Amino acid sequence: MTDLILTTFDWVPEVPRGYVRDIRVRWALEEAGLPYRVESVSFRARNAVHFSHQPFGQVPWLTDGDISIFESGAILLHLGNRSEALMPADPRRRSEAIEWLFASLNSVEMASLPWSIFAFSGYKGDTPGWKRLDEFLQARLKHMEPVLAGREWLAGNFSVADILMADVLRLVDRFDGLAGYPACRDYVARATARPCFVKAHADQLAHFAAAD
């Protein structure tokens, strides 16, 4: 019997498969070697129990015994506190991992997510809206490029910061947004070649395919 339960949707459409944020949690749990099980909630009918765990009716959330946590960043911080495979013990490195974890979400994903939604919706083109979003993303990537050219992982050893940053950049790469940023691309390739990512990705695809 495990105390860790990851909840995701029972099914999602084809396009987001492989990119649903439960992959961040699966990946972290695999890296830490923590036993867990996966439960599902309905994608089509979101009930009060769902909203009591995730106030926006989204996924993922994690329960650890009687603690229920939503927001993928908060979940990864929680797991980082349980395993040195996810967050270094050294205070300086730990602080670096935490700052990069927030930077992934609050500096890079803040720019990359609207960009990806536009790209996915086919709104790329010579419009002021697209140009503004693209400039916003380039302003972040041009600073990530020298950071990632100079180090293998963000905070010394691989950590939760890398799970988040690689997952954020992976979505940009899906829409060819890293073409001018070889160090960012290499970093995504390095992170997603890790056996724990490969397993997490395969497990997510299998989970949603089982509901087809």
Ligand X SMILES: N[C@@H](CCC(=O)N[C@@H](CS)C(=O)NCC(=O)O)C(=O)O
Q: Could you list the residues that contact ligand X (CB under 6 A)?
A: 20-21, 57-59, 71-72
Residue nearest ligand X (C-beta atom): 58
* Cβ 145 to ligand X shortest distance, Å: 24
Q: Which is nearer to ligand X, 58 or 107 (CB)?
A: 58
* Cβ 182 to ligand X shortest distance, Å: 27
DSSP state of 125: S
What DSSP line would sit under 95-116, residue for residue?
HHHHHHHHHIIIIIHHHHHHHH
CA distance 21 to 17: 10
Q: Which is nearer to ligand X, 69 or 178 (CB)?
A: 69
* Cβ 146 to ligand X shortest distance, Å: 27
* Cβ 90 to ligand X shortest distance, Å: 27
Q: Which is nearer to ligand X, 23 or 87 (CB)?
A: 23
* Cβ 45 to ligand X shortest distance, Å: 12
Q: Which is nearer to ligand X, 145 or 163 (CB)?
A: 163
The SS3 of residue 157 is: strand
**Bridge partners, 155 (sequence order):** 157
Tokens for 175, please give them. 């829409």
Q: Which is nearer to ligand X, 57 or 180 (CB)?
A: 57
For residue 55, cis peptide bond before it (omega within 30 degrees of 0): no
CA distance 211 to 159: 32
Amino acid occupying residue 181? Y
